[in-house]
Structure 1
Amino acid sequence: MLSTKLVCFALASLALGQYYLVASEETVALCPTDFTQVAGKCLLFDNRWNNFYESDRHCQSLNAGLLSFKNKMELTAINEWLATVVPRNPDVWTSGNKLGGTEDYYWQSTGRRAIYLPWQAGQPTPITGDCLILLANVTMTAEGTTMSEHRLSVADCTKWVPHVCEAPLQIFKTQLCLNTTAFFEAKVPA
């Protein structure tokens, strides 16, 4: 009788031991090392002065692309971040360009057509180049120097400017799993 119960218990334990109970589950979004989360993406400012092509190559080496943005909300968050990270830097490369002779600007980092284009006053001036920078107007007064928000400006792709790399958030799903066999271990007298 005891051996029958023991066999049934052992079989039930083996069957249940194949299943795991998920005690908790959490999704975590993180940025790569040295990147900062801004507007749902990960950004990294690089103060080396490079042309568009070198800047793009640098970002690609980090598994990232040059900066892009979709709307006013993203640009506002990027402007706030730039004001704290590099308060005196008037311009940075974006991935925006119309290389290849297209009429429209595209974000090289995403391959999408740039729809939201908040231009600086007097822009765009295509004769000045095919690439886009974020440019802030600098005003010097007796009280000091102030900068306006960064807005898009057309630039020659060989111009030397610092840049911002963007990488997607890395999404991780964590689970705390409990092995049900851990609760059914039993010592049987010999």
Structure 2
Amino acid sequence: MKVVCFAGHAGVGKTTLIERVIPAMKAQGLRVSVVKHAHHKLEIDHPGKDTYRHREAGAFEVVAASPERLVLMREFERPAALSVHHLIAELYDGVDWVFVEGFKHSNLMKVELIRTPGDTHQLYPTDPYVVAVVCDDPALLAEPTGRPVLPLNDAAAVALWLVHNGDRFDYDPTMFDE
């Protein structure tokens, strides 16, 4: 599997870009999974539903499946600090690509999205894991870069670049410390 992290500040357009790149990858016959970092309480179940009732009764894990979907919910007894590598390990291993949204300080290869001119918090100048920058205009960059600069509004170009550079994104879980 190949793993790429889409990094950038909140509101920069990571989710929008990912939701546009996924169909471009699927059109090439590739299967994509997504790992999303959430800063807030994550709630996907609803009161009254069987899975909610099982969880509320104290189940550590609840797995629900239909012919179209599988959902796994795990309740931690106390807050858990899971690394992105823990989350990737939970995914189906037959996937071609994993898109990671967030986890901008991880040791994964990253594509950084930039929308603010000269933002002093841009990752690419010092983060060796940033392998490309995606933005509307290269003039937005705080300083010049030798990395590829990809067009923010061209998901097909981003997908094509990822596929052509796929070897850079091969994921070997043994290479990462938890």
Q: TM-score, normalised to structure 2's length?
A: 0.24
For the pair shown, which has the larger CA radius of gyration, 1 or 2?
Answer: 1
TM-score by length of 1: 0.23
